[in-house]
Structure 1
């Protein structure tokens, strides 16, 4: 697939996916989401790519569904079905992102609103520019949160703060997001991508399979009992203990040297 609305670049085992519609503050139409799904699947299938940075071009991360186009599923029919388009486009994008083995860093360079907010907070590490903000904009146009926000937000910031964001529909500035645990770090805008790339490089040189099991293990255990969670850990530790990276990690520890992980 050729991309018209996004950029997908790779360097030193790190993929960078940039939503590239700056004239509409990176609003998401169906074509953009389709391209993003394809790009994420490319990252998934390329074993040399061991970390993913997700960001937006220009002055914003993403303003969410492009209400001036077909972001809500109206491709000239006059009968938008915002629920249907979630099923066919936005939800598969989120599921593909969450299923990646590669850790995800979201570099939030400006407004992250609506579906853009959902994508921003799905990162394992959310790094914000000082001018960034998060906005659950749905209620402001009579909709409900989607693209995983109802599931993600309460788990990140708690029920009360999630309801504040969703029902008041007010901006959450970067520093407040950091205080709430919504962001990992807030940095000056001109250093944002450098910070994201530095962190991504750390992951690209780490034990990729262990990272994948940590990501999925946390997700699996959030709705399980303690006993069920212990079983998940048991299964994952069995798998991790059979990786080449575990052997290398032990060897490096005993040899008092830095481990050279290959992601195997």
Structure 2
């Protein structure tokens, strides 16, 4: 991997992560997954980063896994245990994105295919260019979706639609993706990144503690039942009540000014 295959830049409290292999539609090789996992881990621990924005360079978000790279997994040189370790390393990115205590916005600027589509749905909010489309196309290449689609996709669009997309590998346009809840909004391609930046900075002005708690509670299996969700909401509320940021929010409301939150 060249150092430019994955770029991480800062715009104040927003970290911008760009998949940067436009010549091959940002196809993902294993070193990129490792670099992305490392970057996510560092950004999670950086208190000055409030929001992450993930996008792709050029006309694609990501064409998915680089088949030339993973061909080495099929030559019989690795034991089953080694293959499991390789696949688990790829899945680390999905775990980090979903469990990161900071919002992750994904700006889907073009095609998102296979592992690229799975990477997109690992984020918290998706905005798409009107030229974008999604294909969970692993089955068309004799592969299996390995980066969380079996869990994430049904929760986003329902079991029936998810089953159809995962079995057929059919293309889902940006307009259809918005209609079924796969993306939150569709923008003209030229305005997508501006809209994503505006949303990222708006979220960065919110109190970090409740933002992280929203993600944690939604990802907790206990929230699948009403009683479990209610109990988690109590615990999250208690954490907010104990924070200085809550007092700042109330004081700012009384003084009719914008609150300044510090994440504590």
TM-score for both structures, normalised by structure 2: 0.93
CA distance in structure 2 between the aligned counterparts of 1:178 and 1:80, rounded to whole angstroms: 42
Contact 1:248–1:259 (CA<8 Å) still a contact in 2? yes
CA distance in structure 2 between the aligned counterparts of 1:192 and 1:222, rounded to whole angstroms: 35
Deviation of 1:77 after TM superposition, in Å, equals: 6.0
CA distance in structure 1 between the aligned counterparts of 2:117 and 2:92, rounded to whole angstroms: 16
Match of residue 105 from structure 2: 105
Deviations 1:53-90 (A, max 9, x none): 011111101111100223x6639765597654221x22
Contact 1:30–1:73 (CA<8 Å) still a contact in 2? no
Contact 2:222–2:228 (CA<8 Å) still a contact in 1? no
Match of residue 242 from structure 1: 242
CA distance in structure 2 between the aligned counterparts of 1:222 and 1:182, rounded to whole angstroms: 24
CA distance in structure 2 between the aligned counterparts of 1:74 and 1:80, rounded to whole angstroms: 10
Match of residue 163 from structure 2: 163
Deviation of 1:147 after TM superposition, in Å, equals: 0.3
Secondary structure in 2 matching 1:68: helix
Q: In the superposition, relative to structure 1, how do residues 140 and 41 fare at CA in structure 2: closer, same or farther (>3 Å)? A: same
CA distance in structure 2 between the aligned counterparts of 1:48 and 1:146, rounded to whole angstroms: 32
Match of residue 196 from structure 1: 196
Q: In the superposition, relative to structure 1, how do residues 245 and 7 fare at CA in structure 2: closer, same or farther (>3 Å)? A: same
Match of residue 73 from structure 2: 74
Deviation of 1:250 after TM superposition, in Å, equals: 1.1
CA distance in structure 2 between the aligned counterparts of 1:223 and 1:144, rounded to whole angstroms: 28
Secondary structure in 2 matching 1:105: strand
Contact 2:98–2:219 (CA<8 Å) still a contact in 1? no
Contact 2:5–2:21 (CA<8 Å) still a contact in 1? yes
Contact 2:54–2:105 (CA<8 Å) still a contact in 1? yes
The range that moved more, 248-257 or 78-87, is 78-87
Secondary structure in 1 matching 2:62: coil
Contact 2:61–2:108 (CA<8 Å) still a contact in 1? yes
Deviations 1:228-260 (A, max 9, x none): 111111111111111121111111222233222
CA distance in structure 1 between the aligned counterparts of 2:223 and 2:154, rounded to whole angstroms: 13
Match of residue 176 from structure 2: 176
CA distance in structure 2 between the aligned counterparts of 1:44 and 1:73, rounded to whole angstroms: 32
Contact 1:5–1:35 (CA<8 Å) still a contact in 2? no
Q: In the superposition, relative to structure 1, how do residues 62 and 222 fare at CA in structure 2: closer, same or farther (>3 Å)? A: farther
Give 5+ residue unaligned stretches, structure 2. Answer: none
Q: In the superposition, relative to structure 1, how do residues 173 and 28 fare at CA in structure 2: closer, same or farther (>3 Å)? A: same
CA distance in structure 2 between the aligned counterparts of 1:228 and 1:79, rounded to whole angstroms: 42
Secondary structure in 1 matching 2:146: coil
CA distance in structure 1 between the aligned counterparts of 2:123 and 2:183, rounded to whole angstroms: 9
Contact 1:33–1:90 (CA<8 Å) still a contact in 2? yes
Aligned length: 262
Determine which structure has the larger helix proportion and give its number.
Answer: 2
Contact 1:22–1:57 (CA<8 Å) still a contact in 2? yes
Q: In the superposition, relative to structure 1, how do residues 73 and 228 fare at CA in structure 2: closer, same or farther (>3 Å)? A: farther
Q: In the superposition, relative to structure 1, how do residues 231 and 66 fare at CA in structure 2: closer, same or farther (>3 Å)? A: same
Q: Is 1:85 aligned to residue 77 of structure 2?
A: no
Map 1:218-257 to 2 at 5 A.
Answer: 218-220=218-220, 224-257=224-257
